[in-house]
């Protein structure tokens, strides 16, 4: 896999909206996120049509593809952050110039619906992309230290490092009330122990599964899967989506599951019931309730990079990313 150059202070980061528009963010939120990234030493620019919107709070396929191509083609831009997730980034996949991206590798980061476009870029170009905070994620005040620390670890340095649990986590609507938040203690949990290394694929499960049957779906072989899902899932849909992904994979070496939102009703009892269905998961390391996905805070990880899992210690180490 091609690993793009890491970011450094003084680099320009382009903000684009391949899914929902930045128009759904408040002016204060946009300014806060911009200032926080500037305080890390970056120069922030906004792509075309970022604040435009249509009936579904997005823009046309052509407008979104144009902004993506501009960001990769611009030699001054060293990294690309997506505004926020949504529902439609997979609409862009047939229209992307993957050769342009391959000739201009750079950091591309986002999560949730961005799983579709990030994974497609990785499979079509052989370039590592990143599942991590959106631009909008940098509006968040509390728990920002953990998120920013691992954003910097993953995207601003080359040395292997260990991902560690946050002290606390939250599932509240922080963007509505930044002060009155409820946090709980964090524990990463082990379903099955073991230590392995391998190539990492994954992201948002229901979005990743949209790629099945297309040329944008990676060949998952001897891979480590990182998967999560949002509040719109329920135990039954998560179970069938997980089954579908496992049946698509030629072989997996480990499974890491991000923490679920409470609205999903996927309790520990439900999750263990789902995992127990699959004999293969009793023979490989499996971790769950890990700090990525739609709860806060989250760490950043590489799609197509390499990771080491030590499930008996609840340890994740990025090796090549």
Band of pLDDT at residue 315, cut at 50, 70 and 90: confident
294 is catalytic: yes
Band of pLDDT at residue 216, cut at 50, 70 and 90: very high
Over residues 207-219, the mean pLDDT reads 98
CB 188 within 8 A of CB 162: no
What is the per-residue pLDDT across 132-176, written as a single tens digit (0 to 9) for each? 999 999 999 999 999 999 999 999 999 999 999 999 999 999 999
DSSP 3-state of 176:
coil
* The pLDDT value given to residue 314: 86
Tell whether the model's pLDDT for residue 40 goes beyond 90: yes
- Looking at 21, 58, 69, 228, which residue is catalytic? 228
CB 79 within 8 A of CB 107: yes
* The pLDDT value given to residue 268: 97
Over residues 52-73, the mean pLDDT reads 98
Tell whether the model's pLDDT for residue 129 goes beyond 90: yes
Band of pLDDT at residue 267, cut at 50, 70 and 90: very high
97-108 as b/e, with b when 16 or more CB fall inside 10 Å? ebeebeebbbbb
> 7: buried, middle or exposed (CB in 10 Å: 19+, 13-18, 0-12)?
buried
Tell whether the model's pLDDT for residue 256 goes beyond 90: yes
- Looking at 89, 112, 122, 136, which residue is catalytic? 112
* The pLDDT value given to residue 160: 95
Over residues 103-119, the mean pLDDT reads 98
Q: What is the dihedral of CA 200, 289, 187, 114, to 10 degrees?
A: 60
Tell whether the model's pLDDT for residue 313 goes beyond 90: no
Please report where in the chains the tokens 């002016």 appear, as a residue. Answer: 27
Distance between CA atoms of 103 and 118, rounded to whole angstroms?
16
CB 29 within 8 A of CB 175: yes
Tell whether the model's pLDDT for residue 312 goes beyond 90: no
Averaged pLDDT score across all residues of the chain: 97
Distance between CA atoms of 90 and 107, rounded to whole angstroms?
19
């Amino acid at each position: 896999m091609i690993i793009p150059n890491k970011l450094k202070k003084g680099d320009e980061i382009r903000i684009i909206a391949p899914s929902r528009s930045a128009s759904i963010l408040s002016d204060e939120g946009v300014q806060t996120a911009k200032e926080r990234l500037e305080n890390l030493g970056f120069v922030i620019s906004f792509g075309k049509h970022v604040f435009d919107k249509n009936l579904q709070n997005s823009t046309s396929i052509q407008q979104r593809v144009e902004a993506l191509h501009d960001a990769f083609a611009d030699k001054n831009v060293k990294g690309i952050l997506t505004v926020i997730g949504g529902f439609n980034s997979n609409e862009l996949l047939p229209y992307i110039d993957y050769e342009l991206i391959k000739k201009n590798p750079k950091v591309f980061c986002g999560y949730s619906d961005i799983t579709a476009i990030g994974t497609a870029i990785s499979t079509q170009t052989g370039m590592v992309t990143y599942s991590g905070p959106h631009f909008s994620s940098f509006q968040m005040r509390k728990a920002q230290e953990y998120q920013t620390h691992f954003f910097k670890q993953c995207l601003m340095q080359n040395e292997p490092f260990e991902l560690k649990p946050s002290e606390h986590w939250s599932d509240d609507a922080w963007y509505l009330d930044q002060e009155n938040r409820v946090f709980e203690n964090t524990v990463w949990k082990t379903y099955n122990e073991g230590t392995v290394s391998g190539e990492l694929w994954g992201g948002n499960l229901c979005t990743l599964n949209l790629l099945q049957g297309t040329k944008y779906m990676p060949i998952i072989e001897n891979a480590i899967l990182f998967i999560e899902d949002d509040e719109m899932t329920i135990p039954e849909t998560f179970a069938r989506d997980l089954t579908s992904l496992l049946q698509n994979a030629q072989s997996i070496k480990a499974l890491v599951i991000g923490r679920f939102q409470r609205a999903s009703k996927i309790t520990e009892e439900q999750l263990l019931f789902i995992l127990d269905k699959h004999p293969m998961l009793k023979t490989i390391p499996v971790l769950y309730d890990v700090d990525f996905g739609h709860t806060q805070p989250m760490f950043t990880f590489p799609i197509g990079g390499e990771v080491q899992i030590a499930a008996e210690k609840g340890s994740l180490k990025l090796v090549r990313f």
